[in-house]
């Protein structure tokens, strides 16, 4: 069973990667962006509930 630190690390990594994909695709494929945005919100809520400060990690300002 993964530790809390491992779970947080995995979610932070996924959150960062997702933002890397979202930023350039926003204007090119809005439907894809909307789908990715749903996952972004889920990750953001999860990380916040785990006590992760997203101030510097969050590059999507909406």
Annotated domain spans of the chain? 4-49
Residues with Cβ within 8 Å of residue 50, at least 6 apart in sequence = 4, 7, 8, 11
| pLDDT at position 54 | 93
Greatest pairwise CA separation for the chain in angstroms: 40
Report whether pLDDT(2) > 90: no
H/E segment holding residue 34: helix 30-49
Q: What is the C-alpha separation between 29 and 6, in angstroms, rounded?
A: 33
Across the range 26-48, mean pLDDT stands at 95
Across the range 38-53, mean pLDDT stands at 95
């Amino acid at each position: 069973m993964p530790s809390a630190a491992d779970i947080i690390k995995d979610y932070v990594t996924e959150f960062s990667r997702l933002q890397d994909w979202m930023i350039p695709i926003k204007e090119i494929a809005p439907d894809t962006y909307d789908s990715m945005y749903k996952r972004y919100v889920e990750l953001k809520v999860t990380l916040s509930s785990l006590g992760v400060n997203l101030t510097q990690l969050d590059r999507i300002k909406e």
